[in-house]
Amino acid sequence: MTYQGSCHCGRVAFEVEGSMEGAMDCNCSFCRRRGALLWFVPRTAFTLLSPTADYATYTFNSHRLQHHFCPTCGNAPFSEGGGKDGVAMVAVNIRCLDGVDLGKVKITPYDGASR
């Protein structure tokens, strides 16, 4: 299935293809504050529809993930980085996807605060 997503104002838009089996609710200091529910997909399944100049990037801690956000509305629709296996991946905030019924998505807690 192909999902359409964006930040709140639409400046940062993207498509992601895959089967959403669930999402992760991380309790690290960053994810907890932004309220993201993350679906991890290979970078090859993600297509950015906006210019890279349309988003800003924040990193912290190990700097393994680049957390992208819209400088206009402040929404953070996705992050990028390398997985433990070295394969490029994207963590999509499913709250930013059109047509996803969050009540039907299996949400798995992740203890990022302890890492």
* In a domain? residue 105: no
**What is d(CA 84, CA 82) in angstroms, rounded to the nearest whole number?**
7
The residues with which 112 forms a beta bridge, in sequence order, are none
Number of structural domains found in the chain: 1
* In a domain? residue 109: no
* In a domain? residue 74: yes
* In a domain? residue 90: yes
* In a domain? residue 84: yes
The CATH number linked to 66 is 2.170.150.70
Instruction: Look up the domain containing 94 and give its range.
Output: 2-99
What is the per-residue pLDDT across 18-52, written as a single tens digit (0 to 9) for each?
999 999 999 988 889 999 999 999 999 999 999 99
* In a domain? residue 115: no
pTM confidence score: 0.91
Q: What is the pLDDT of residue 72?
A: 97
* In a domain? residue 108: no
**Cα atoms found within 13 Å of the Cα of residue 46, Cβ hemisphere only:** 23
* In a domain? residue 67: yes
Task: List Cβ neighbours of 44 (8 Å cut-off, separation of 6 or more).
Answer: 88
Cβ proximity of 67 and 57 under 8 Å: yes
**What is d(CA 86, CA 69) in angstroms, rounded to the nearest whole number?**
23
**What is d(CA 39, CA 90) in angstroms, rounded to the nearest whole number?**
8
Q: Which residue carries 């990037």 as its tokens?
A: 57
Q: Which residue carries 């290979």 as its tokens?
A: 42
Number of H helices, E strands in the chain: 1, 10
pLDDT band at 115 (very low <50, low <70, confident <90, very high): confident
What is the per-residue pLDDT across 48-89, written as a single tens digit (0 to 9) for each?
999 999 999 998 877 788 999 999 999 999 999 987 788 899
